[in-house]
Structure 1
Amino acid sequence: MEIPQILFKFKYHFIAGLLLALTVSSFAVLAPRFLTVLAYFWPLFLSTALFLALVLVFGRTSSAAAAGGNSNNNIAGEVFLDYVAGHHELQLESQASRSD
């Protein structure tokens, strides 16, 4: 008689475990296969991979060009960043001082 009373104390644990097992098994049965998802999203994966490859290529080539000693590229980049950040007054002052 003691064992059923002890098990009755854990009835919510058993119900939660059963619900979790049913949920996981239903996801496993109802979810699409990996190849189906891959077949649907392959253009997105491909375009993202190409974009990241281009970012890496342009990043390496622009850093190599900047390391070549051409300081005009760095100045132009700083002026552009100041303009985008909204520091228009600083841009005009920095252009005037650099052109002298």
Structure 2
Amino acid sequence: MEIKQELLKFRYQIGGALLVCLSIISFLYLAPRFLNVLAYFWPLFLSTALFLLLVLFFAKTQTLPNSDASIPKPAEELLHYVAGHHHSDPPLDTHKSD
């Protein structure tokens, strides 16, 4: 009787373990095989691999432009303007009230 009472203490853990085992077994039985998945998706895998190789190739062969501060950068100027960092002088306060 002691064994039965000990097993009843752990009935939820045993049930959970059995449920996990059954789900893993059913997943392995019902899931498609890896070669079937590979056969279905090989064009996608191949095109993705070629695209990544081209990206790496162009990243290695591209020469970096010289960073010259005199070249205007419209996007950075627009970002500074939107952020509130205007290049113009602040307006003069001619009307001061006490």
TM-score range, shorter chain: 0.5 to 0.7
Q: Could you say which residue in structure 2 is the equivalent of 1:35?
A: 35
Q: Letter of the 1:87 partner, please give it.
A: L
**Number of residues paired by the alignment?**
79
2:21 & 2:8 partners in 1: Cα distance? 20
Q: Which has the larger radius of gyration?
A: 2
Query: Shift of the alpha carbon at 1:87?
Result: 3.2
1:21 & 1:51 partners in 2: Cα distance? 40
Query: Shift of the alpha carbon at 1:85?
Result: 9.1
Q: Could you say which residue in structure 2 is the equivalent of 1:97?
A: none
- Structure scoring higher RCO (CA < 8 A, sep ≥ 6) equals 1
1:11–1:33 Cα change, 3 Å: same
2:90 corresponds to 1:87 = no
TM-score, with length taken from structure 2: 0.67
Give the unaligned 5+ runs of structure 1: 94-100
Identity %: 52
The structure with more helix, counted as a fraction of residues: 1
1:86–1:21 Cα change, 3 Å: farther
Q: Could you say which residue in structure 2 is the equivalent of 1:59?
A: 59
Question: Which runs of structure 1 show a deviation greater than 2 angstroms over 4 or more consecutive aligned residues?
Answer: 82-89
Give the unaligned 5+ runs of structure 2: 82-86, 88-98
2:9 & 2:58 partners in 1: Cα distance? 65
1:85 & 1:7 partners in 2: Cα distance? 73
Query: Shift of the alpha carbon at 1:3?
Result: 1.4
Query: Shift of the alpha carbon at 1:83?
Result: 2.6
TM-score, with length taken from structure 1: 0.66
Q: Letter of the 1:8 partner, please give it.
A: L
